[in-house]
A and B are shown apart, each in its own frame.
Chain A
Amino acid sequence: MFDFFQYPFWLQGALKGLAVIAVIFPLAGACSMAERKISAWMQGRPGPNRATVPWIAWIPVLGPFLQRLGVFHLLADGAKFLFKEEPVPGHVNKLYYVLAPVIALIPALMTIVAVPFGAYLDGAGRVVPLILANVDIGILGVFAISSLGVYSLIIAGWASNSKYPFLGGIRASAQLISYELSMTLSVLPVFLWINVPGGQGTLSLAQCVAMQGGAWFGIWMPLSAFIFLVSLFAETNRQPFDMPESEADLVGGFHTEYGAFKWSMFFVAEYAHMLIGSGVFALLFLGGWNPLPWVSLADLVGWLQHLTGWAFVLHPLAVGLISIGIFLGKVLFLIFVFMWVRWTVPRFRYDQVMQLGWQKLLPLAIGNLILYALIIAWVQTRI
């Protein structure tokens, strides 16, 4: 057995990073499949259910079940995107045209660095988060990197050198920048509460989860959670804020001129943004890896060990897997909510999006911040 912790620091980092990307990249692809299936069910259709792999089709029950679920369409789609001809239209600015999907994907995959996705208990019973870089800037890092994603849309819209992508790019920049304000303001109450007077100042998401052993923040800061969720829809360009793409009036929006692998990179980036956005929402407002409100991960593991009497339940590996499972479950549920809303609500008009962002959500977020600042000041001086 190789001792992972004997490897040089950079190799450890690279391996951990690759492991996380190896999970999130296929997961983002699987989300596109889930989207097609869920949309089909919501519209009373069976959805994609034809593609299959011979060796798996021979397995009696599982093979046909997976085929009906459309799992292999994912492989077929991926292979198609890889081997398709990639035409580059003659009128585009080639450098930026190629650069845009790359810029879309890099920040989308990079944000995961500051997002913890599980935890284990060390020898002393303290909860240690599983995270690629346990830095104190936490949420600030996530916001800083993920908002770079808007550049890919602007560059794609501009480099495509035709009117619909250009309009899509303009809408993208206006929309993403407007909703970032309310998004950032909506999480401030959470961090006001976390940074207890006298304690060490932090913006870490892991600390956020540690403070949610009791009531989740989503329960006693519902307005913050609501504003964050709405802004998250806008930031990830999901329906009903599908402005940059808006296929009804802008053909395909910013990716009108894209095809094949470059196009699929935009989509993996969009789903990766969704995954990480849902992850941050789960960490901030849904208790992260704490299984239920008022039941923390340590409680759960303690009960399990007490009930079953198995010592290995307390092993870091087991606790880590349980916590990742709980966290991933919440993230996937949020992804489902994203899709559920997408196939329910029609798109807002552009002026409605702007009005909602600046005239409704932003004042609401500011009022919410002031209200919770007063409450927290009052509560924390009395504990």
Chain B
Amino acid sequence: MAVLPVERKPLSFAERTYMPQIFSGLKTTFKRMIKPAETLEYPEQRPTIPNGYRGVPTLVKDPHGREKCVSCQLCEFVCPPKAIRITPGEIPLESPTGHVEKAPQAFDIDMLRCIYCGLCQEVCPEEAIFLQNQYSMSGYSRAEMVNHKDRLYELGGTLPDKHYKWDKKKSAEDAAAHGGGHH
């Protein structure tokens, strides 16, 4: 490409007095001054959260109130800052969800370590952990900043479930047990 020499004009007299630029600047700031403010007054006004926002990670239940986490610990192992700590536990066989076999005994997420990357949500085979809309976490001590299992369920609430994976499994097992040898 050809080199185009650009003429560098010396500053005009008006420019050297600074005044035209200062006056145009004053015009800009005055216009800005009489317009309404752009900011949100935070605690009273909250921003609208866009879809797909990654807030505080939470645990959710399915519409029947069953806790979805089966303590497979995939999220614990994928978590880059190692914020998640799960102690697996068993579900007694005689309980209605006994066929699920496992549930977390303890589930702690250290919010001082969490980097809100969302890998736990992505890796979860049970759709049990979601990064939801809450963006503000505060506490007076390090211990307070660790979300325990009950707090995680309280934050997460219940989300609609399209699959009912374990209900289907149970009805299939039941049908197999009753129908006997048809397949």
Q: Which residues of A line the B interface, CB within 8 A?
A: 38, 40-46, 49, 340-341, 343-345
- Cβ proximity bits B14-40 to A, threshold 8 Å, 1 near / 0 not: 000000001001101110111101110
**B26 contacts A44, C-beta separation under 8 Å:** no
Looking at chain B's contact residues, the main secondary structure is helix
Residues of A within 8 A of B7 (CB): none
A344→B22 contact, CB < 8 A = yes
For residue A46, give the distance in angstroms from its CB to the closest CB of chain B: 5
B38/A42 in contact, CB under 8 A? no
Residue among B30, B35, B39, B41 making CB contact with A340, cutoff 8 Å: B30
Question: When the two chains form their complex, are residues B26 and A341 in contact, meaning their CB atoms are under 8 A apart?
Answer: yes
Q: How many pairs of A and B residues are in contact by the CB < 8 Å rule?
A: 35
Chain A contacts of B29 at CB under 8 A? Answer: 42, 340, 343-344
User: CA separation between A341 and B35, bound complex, in Å?
Assistant: 18
Complex CA gap A199/B34 in Å reads: 49
B28 neighbours in A (Cβ, 8 Å): 344
Contact residues of B between 34 and 71, Cβ < 8 Å to A: 34-35, 37-39, 41
Q: List 29 A-B contacts (CB under 8 A).
A: A38-B33, A40-B37, A41-B32, A41-B33, A42-B29, A42-B32, A42-B33, A43-B32, A44-B32, A44-B35, A44-B37, A44-B38, A45-B38, A45-B39, A46-B39, A46-B41, A49-B41, A340-B26, A340-B29, A340-B30, A341-B22, A341-B26, A343-B29, A344-B22, A344-B26, A344-B28, A344-B29, A345-B22, A345-B25
State how many angstroms separate the Cβ of B22 from the closest Cβ of chain A.
Answer: 6
Given contacts A340-B29, A340-B30, contact A44 B22 (CB under 8 A): no
Give me 13 other A-B pairs in contact (C-beta within 8 A), A43-B32, A44-B32, A49-B41 excluded.
Answer: A38-B33, A41-B33, A42-B32, A44-B35, A44-B37, A45-B38, A45-B39, A340-B26, A340-B29, A340-B30, A344-B22, A344-B25, A345-B22
On chain B, the residues within 8 Å of A341 by CB distance are 22, 26
CB distance from B19 to the nearest CB of A (A): 9
Residues of A close to B22: CB separation below 8 A: 341, 344-345
> How many B residues, CB 8 Å from partner?
14
Residues of B whose CB lies within 8 Å of any CB of A are 22, 25-26, 28-30, 32-35, 37-39, 41
Partner among B26, B30, B34, B37 whose Cβ is within 8 Å of the Cβ of A45: B37
Q: Give complex CA distance A345, B19 in Å.
A: 11
Complex Cα distance, B1 from A207, in Å, reads 71
Which chain B residues border A49 with CB–CB below 8 Å?
A: 41
Q: Does A41 contact B26, Cβ atoms closer than 8 Å?
A: no
- Give the most central of A38, A42, A343: most B CB within 10 Å: A42
- What is the minimal beta-carbon distance from B102 to any residue of chain A, in angstroms? 51
**Complex interface: chain A residues within 8 A of B25 (CB):** 344-345
Closest chain A residue, CB of each to CB of B38: A44
Residue of A nearest to B39 (CB): A45
Which residues of A lie under 8 Å from residue B32 when comparing CB positions? Answer: 41-44
Q: Name A337's closest neighbour in chain B (CB-CB).
A: B26
Cβ-closest chain B residue relative to A342? B29
| B30 lies within 8 A of A46 (CB) | no
B32: nearest residue on chain A (CB-CB)? A42
Contacts of B38 in A (CB 8 A): 44-45
A343 to B25, CA, bound (A): 10
Whole-angstrom distance from the CB of A43 to the nearest CB of chain B?
7
Cα(A43)–Cα(B38), bound, Å: 9
State the CA gap A46–B34 with chains docked (Å). 11
Chain A CB within 10 Å, residue with most, of B22, B29, B34, B35: B29
Least Cβ distance of B10 to chain A in Å?
17
Chain B proximity of A286: nearest CB distance (Å): 18
Shortest A241–chain B CB gap in Å is 12
Q: For residue B41, which residue of chain A has the nearest CB?
A: A46
List of A residues within 8 angstroms of B41 by Cβ: 46, 49
Q: How far is the CA of A44 from the CA of B32 in the complex (A)?
A: 7
Verify A44–B30 contact, CB threshold 8 A.
no
Q: How far is the CA of A67 from the CA of B39 in the complex (A)?
A: 18
Which residues of the partner chain B approach A40 to less than 8 Å between Cβ atoms?
37
CA distance A340 to B32 in the complex (A): 11
